[in-house]
Structure 1
């Protein structure tokens, strides 16, 4: 096995297990301790790992959240599948809240029945304004110009007057650390939205699963359903089960706990 091949295997191991020791490298790839150390030195030079005493870990990988126009250009097929399936959960005369995420925005394309939609997303309101049936309540507040949503005290205060059937929430990360996002202001609004709903539904493509970002706005036990596009690993499914959260997979329409 060449060093290049071994380095790829080491990085894959780190992706799966978060850390690796020199002993692990020696055992799994049948090399000496000196060779294992040289592998780690090489990866460190490439800025792909952080060396620790006796091994290595992956550097923190915080996702950059691009501005809203950029994200709209790259609404993936996965998000569209999730959004389409999520829209089927809405019934006639439902009162719902939609947040600002692009996955929830993709859902808006499939909503055209008698319902009342409350949102703080300018783009979601624009999409729904082209539909015949939904009634739209756009929450007023401070405009986040880059990401096209409204936030602040007036949004939080107005939400206190509503009680809805369902809320659909997008996230940057969902893990044992709960639901997380980059911006605290956005997280505060999402949390208030959840508190005003009888059912909390999280839309998260597979890339969000197992990720923890800067600001936690809710715990897993506070949500009812997760909709994603790929079957998660067994550890994550077990985590949902322990917190009484249902799972719906868009590709298979499989429901479980």
Structure 2
């Protein structure tokens, strides 16, 4: 016997629960997770957006958390707002990541709030060669004895990150011992970012680095954002504020990824 169709309210509640847990989910993933067609998912997402429960994006939906005030922050979060979130965790991650750095090394430091805290730690070390795609991070390092390079490209206001094909081409002329990347999410499927432009720079950093280190707090675990940056077997180390959930930790270990948990103080 064909199972009875669920009422729209029950379907939409299940969709909302899935999105809230993940932060972002694609239409295809929602259809697979709830056992309904993509057409039905799109219809239900339209209803949920009308109620102010989610924000639809190209190909999926974002959870809003605390209403309309969080919509803009979810899509285009300001640097200051993101830096305030999980501040102690980010500081602990930065300090733990800094233990991986040695004088004289060549590093790439990605744009982001956790990587910004990491750059502040690096300011205490001399004789580093650092390429970063964030002018704010470059400013932190500018008064040190380190050699700091900014790639050519377009400057994004507010974030002060540099992006575009010219920036990617510039990065591809360098060689790094280690790159330190931020991430909007990490799961068994890979590392994710909300921005296609920032994801392109991350891939360039990865391609030119002997070692790839991802810095992320626990809010990014099992979270898939809009753009895939790369597979987990393309990274070497994850520095986080606590151990990932068991399944994600096992997937990382199976891929040969070192996990460094740094408990906030």
- Into which bin does the TM-score normalised by the smaller protein fall? 0.7 to 0.9
Give 3-state SS (helix, strand or coil) of 1:110's partner: helix
Instruction: Report the counterpart of residue 63 of structure 2 in structure 1.
Output: 61
CA contact (8 A) 1:97 1:117 kept: yes
Greater relative contact order (CA < 8 Å, ≥ 6 in sequence) = 2
Q: Partners of 1:47 and 1:20 in 2: how far apart?
A: 21
Instruction: Report the counterpart of residue 119 of structure 1 in structure 2.
Output: 132
The structure with more radius of gyration = 1
Q: Partners of 1:122 and 1:195 in 2: how far apart?
A: 22
Q: Determine whether 1:237 maps to 2:239.
A: no
Instruction: Report the counterpart of residue 88 of structure 2 in structure 1.
Output: 77
Residue segments in structure 2 that go unaligned for 5+ positions in a row: 1-12, 23-29, 36-50, 55-60, 65-73
Cα offset for 1:72? Answer: 3.7
Give the TM-score normalised by the residue count of structure 2: 0.71
CA contact (8 A) 1:225 1:245 kept: yes
Structural RMSD (CA): 2.9
Q: Partners of 2:200 and 2:168 in 1: how far apart?
A: 8
Superposed CA deviations along residues 138-194 of structure 1, whole A, max 9, x for unmatched, are 112111113211111211111121111000000001012211111101100111111
Question: Structure 1 residues 116, 151: closer, same or farther in 2, change over 3 A?
Answer: same
Q: Partners of 2:120 and 2:131 in 1: how far apart?
A: 15
Residue segments in structure 1 that go unaligned for 5+ positions in a row: 1-6, 22-45, 50-58, 253-257
CA contact (8 A) 1:75 1:103 kept: no
CA contact (8 A) 2:53 2:63 kept: no
Q: Partners of 1:212 and 1:69 in 2: how far apart?
A: 23
Give the TM-score normalised by the residue count of structure 1: 0.73
Q: Partners of 1:66 and 1:150 in 2: how far apart?
A: 16
